[in-house]
């Protein structure tokens, strides 16, 4: 399973793997419960985690897959809190892991969602280290011979 196959769906908690797409929606399976279902594109917005970034200071962005790699790397020194922790605890944790995040535009609800998603992805062994991500990008950038 690749990171670009993982989606978030408005109005639904958790993360989903896209199994198939249709003209009016997608068929997904939940990463937590394994249940498959049809999601109508008319009712829900479907966002691939591959396309999500967070705001950093100086109007820069960081791709979510690299944020998760940072969270994984920091886990030995800064344990990842539960997603139901207090807003202050979550903000303190996120500031320790991504100190350059934009404190105004990255809301507490965003941090809570990222921590929850991190736990789901980690449980499914879907988080790559930054080194693995860079190797994957280098391979995809090389022209075919």
pLDDT of residue 51: 92
pLDDT of residue 144: 55
Residue-wise pLDDT tens digits, 83-118: 999 999 999 999 999 999 999 999 999 999 999 999
- Cα distances (Å, whole numbers) of residue 119 to 75, 103, 108, 112, 123: 12, 22, 17, 11, 6
- Helix 130-141 and helix 64-74: axis angle, to 10°? 150
Token digits for 35? 């249940």
pTM: 0.87
CB distance 44 to 34 below 8 Å: no
């Amino acid at each position: 399973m690749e990171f670009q196959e993982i989606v978030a769906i408005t109005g639904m908690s958790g993360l989903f793997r896209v199994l198939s797409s249709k003209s009016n929606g997608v068929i997904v399976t939940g990463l937590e419960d394994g249940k498959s279902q049809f999601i109508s594109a008319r009712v829900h917005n479907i966002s691939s985690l591959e396309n999500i970034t967070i705001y950093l200071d100086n109007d820069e962005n960081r791709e979510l897959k690299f944020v998760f790699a940072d969270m994984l790397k920091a886990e030995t020194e800064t344990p990842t809190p539960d997603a139901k922790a207090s807003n202050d605890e979550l903000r303190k944790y996120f500031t320790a892991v991504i100190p350059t995040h934009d404190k105004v535009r990255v809301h507490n609800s965003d941090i809570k969602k990222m921590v929850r998603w991190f736990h789901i992805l980690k449980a499914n062994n879907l988080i790559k280290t930054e080194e693995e991500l860079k190797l994957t990008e280098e391979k995809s950038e090389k022209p075919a011979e």
